[in-house]
């Protein structure tokens, strides 16, 4: 790897997610690749969910930060395959989520065939990110952003968000 | 003393000045539309007919677009905040799928895209969404009717998501890599939608007398168009869908209603009314300026 490519990668790796600013795009697993084509930096990102409204922000943030570091020519590409998985959130990203009061995801389901129907509430072994209690209740599988479910803690009585496994 | 107002104007800048720190890219949601397929190879693979591929993407995309708009009508009207947020999330997932699919259709068959005046900034997927007339929409009638009450919404959502999940599971193996990728991503999302619909269906069936009464009435409302969903869907997934639907009905303790399928026109009047509202602003400003 050239010094220029290493520099571009380290700069791109500092860009944070617009909706989860405690995470970098790299820690979230959304930044898939940074390459150098002659003078041009080509960064590739993938949406967490199909309707992610933050793709334009992420693109602009990458372009801005890379330009500020001296890369005049920046292109941001989109990748859809393979589809984003919560398994791609790094260990550092999981720690940052927990630190910010958001419960990190467990392992994503691995499926080859049809997705089985689940009529009972999803059961996850997780703990309250505030007090550590495992006495938690699922409030809703849908939260303030596509990637999160809502929980409440029976011990400290606080609500919290959990990043869903996909 | 009323020149106070003038003093104020002279001494203070707009409260919005400085918010961006001189960098317009810090404005919410970026500076510009982004191409949802930016940098992807959208050439049609050898052996595939571009018009057929575009039609398939349009059908799947229009189903998602129309149904997304319907579900979004619940926003601020749902029985409680959690369901409001859940339905809005489901609508957002479907809108994202619609956007990708319409963009894919446009790339495969550019002739489909309505022509706008020179200089229009409207991206191709928005041209398809906002500048086609009702008779050019390729969605099934199943997604068109008004939401009705929560029981009708849940019943329609359960059937729609069960069918869409089966279709997307099939399309993961489609020879067009772009469509296959959109489908694989959608499977993960629609699996959550189907389980949400299924859980609420059972809850309403086994809840109070009133919730059960409404659910049984909802079946009579929703099932007449179900057959069309199965028959004109983009892949023959009837058997897979019926297995899941029967499973939910059994757990809920509900009989399948004895209703006659509705034949006839390709669209209902409900679609025209919805599009009139959805498209009016975009159509008034095809150059994106006002
Ligand atoms: Zn707690």
Q: Which residues of B touch A44 (CB under 8 A)?
A: 39
Chain A contact for B72, CB < 8 A?
no
| Range(s) within chain A of domains with CATH label 3.30.300.130 | 3-78
CA A110 – CA A87 distance, rounded (Å): 11
Instruction: Give contacts of A65 with chain B, Cβ < 8 Å.
Output: none
* pLDDT at residue B24, as a whole number: 55
Q: Which residue of B has its CA nearest to A111?
A: B188
Summarised one tens digit per residue, pLDDT across range B78-135 is: 989 999 999 999 999 999 999 999 999 999 999 999 999 999 999 999 999 999 999 9
How many Å from the N-terminal Cα to the C-terminal Cα in chain B? 37
Other Cβ atoms less than 10 A from the Cβ of A147: the count is 23
A117 to B180: CB separation less than 8 angstroms, yes or no: no
DSSP code of residue A42: E
**Segment A53-67 mean pLDDT:** 93
- Burial (CB count <10 Å: 0-12, 13-18, 19+), residue B199: buried
Per-residue pLDDT, B94: 98
Residue pair A124/A162 in contact (Cβ under 8 Å)? The answer is yes
Give the residue on A whose Cα is nearest the Cα of B168.
Answer: A114
Averaged confidence pLDDT in chain A: 94
What is the reported pLDDT for B21?
54
Q: Are strands A102-103 and A159-163 parallel, antiparallel or unpaired?
A: parallel
Burial of B202 (0-12, 13-18, 19+ CB in 10 A): buried
* CB nearest B39 (choices: A78, A84, A117): A78
- DSSP-derived secondary structure letter, A115: P
Looking up tokens 């329609």 gives B156
User: What domains, with CATH codes, occur in chain B?
Assistant: 24-284 (1.20.1260.10)
- Say yes or no to pLDDT of A107 above 80: yes
How many residue contacts between A and B have a Cβ separation below 8 Å? 136
pLDDT for res A1: 72
pTM greater than 0.95 (yes/no): no
- pLDDT of the residue at B19: 53
pLDDT at B170: 95
pLDDT for position B90: 98
Residue B9: its pLDDT value, please? 46
Window 101-160 of B, Cβ < 8 Å to A: none
CATH number of A3-78: 3.30.300.130
Cis amide bond preceding A82, omega within 30: yes
Contact B282, B122 (CB under 8 A): yes
**Chain B: nearest CA to A114, how far in angstroms?**
7
Please give the pLDDT value at position B5.
43
Residues of chain B with pLDDT under 50: 1-11, 28-29
Nearest to B133 by CA among B156, B114, B155, B108: B114
The rounded Cα B15 to chain-centroid distance in angstroms is 37
Q: What is the mean pLDDT of residues A74-81?
A: 96
More confident residue, A112 or B98: B98
Q: What is the pLDDT of residue B1?
A: 42
pLDDT at B263: 80
Cβ contact A139–B196 (<8 Å) = no
Nearest-CA residue of chain A relative to B185?
A83
Cα gap B287→A62, rounded to integer Å: 28
Cα B186 to Cα B142: distance, rounded to the nearest angstrom: 19
Mean pLDDT of A16-41: 95
- Buried (b) or exposed (e) across A81-99, using 16+ Cβ within 10 A? eebbbbebbeeebbebbee
Give me the pLDDT at residue A104, please: 97
Query: Strands A31-37 and A148-153: what pairing?
Result: unpaired
Please count the other Cβ atoms lying within 10 Å of the Cβ belonging to residue B120: 16
Average pLDDT over residues A70-86: 96
> Does B182 touch chain A if contact means CB atoms closer than 8 Å?
yes
Q: Is pLDDT of A54 > 70?
A: yes
**Distance, CA of B156 to CA of B135 (rounded, Å):** 23
> What is the arithmetic mean of pLDDT over A142-161?
94
pLDDT of amino acid B49: 97
């Amino acid at each position: 790897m050239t010094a220029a490519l290493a520099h571009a990668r380290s700069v791109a790796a500092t860009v944070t997610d617009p909706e989860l600013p405690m995470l970098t795009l790299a820690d979230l697993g959304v930044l898939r690749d940074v390459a150098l084509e002659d003078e041009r930096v080509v960064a590739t990102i993938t949406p967490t969910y199909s309707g992610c409204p933050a793709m334009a922000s992420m693109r602009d943030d990458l372009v801005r930060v890379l330009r500020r570091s001296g890369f005049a020519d920046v292109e941001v590409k989109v990748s859809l395959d393979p589809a984003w998985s919560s398994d791609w959130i790094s260990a550092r990203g999981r720690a940052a989520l927990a630190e910010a009061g958001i419960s990190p995801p467990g392992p994503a389901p691995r499926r080859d065939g049809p997705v089985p129907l689940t009529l009972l509430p999803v059961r996850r072994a997780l703990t309250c990110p505030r007090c550590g209690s495992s006495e938690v209740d699922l409030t809703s599988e849908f939260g303030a952003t596509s990637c999160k479910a809502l929980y409440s803690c029976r011990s400290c009585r606080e609500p919290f968000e959990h990043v869903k496994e996909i | 003393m009323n020149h106070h107002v003038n003093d104020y104007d002279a001494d203070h800048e707009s409260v919005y000045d400085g918010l961006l720190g001189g960098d317009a890219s810090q404005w919410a949601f970026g500076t510009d539309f982004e191409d949802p397929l930016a940098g992807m190879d959208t050439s049609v693979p050898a052996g595939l007919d571009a018009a057929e591929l575009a039609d398939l993407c349009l059908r799947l995309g229009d189903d998602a677009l129309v149904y997304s708009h319907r579900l979004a009508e619940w926003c601020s009207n749902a029985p409680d905040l959690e369901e409001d947020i859940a339905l809005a999330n489901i609508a957002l997932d479907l809108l994202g799928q619609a956007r990708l699919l319409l963009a894919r259709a446009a790339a495969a068959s550019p002739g489909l895209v309505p022509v706008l005046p020179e200089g229009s900034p409207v991206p191709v997927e928005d041209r398809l969404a906002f500048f086609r007339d009702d008779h050019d929409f390729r969605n099934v009638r199943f997604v068109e009717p008004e939401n009705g009450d929560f029981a009708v919404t849940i019943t329609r959502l359960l059937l729609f998501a069960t069918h869409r999940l089966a279709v997307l599971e099939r399309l993961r193996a489609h020879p067009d890599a772009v469509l296959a990728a959109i489908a694989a991503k959608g499977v993960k999302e629609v699996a959550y939608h189907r389980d949400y619909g299924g859980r609420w269906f059972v809850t309403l069936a086994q809840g109070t007398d009133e919730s059960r009464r409404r659910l049984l009435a909802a079946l009579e409302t929703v099932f007449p168009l179900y057959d069309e969903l199965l028959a004109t869907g983009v892949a023959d997934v009837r058997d897979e869908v019926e297995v899941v639907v029967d499973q939910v009905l059994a757990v809920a303790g509900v009989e399948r209603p004895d209703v006659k399928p509705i034949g006839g026109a390709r669209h209902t009047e409900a679609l025209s009314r919805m599009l009139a509202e959805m498209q009016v602003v975009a159509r008034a400003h095809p150059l994106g300026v006002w």
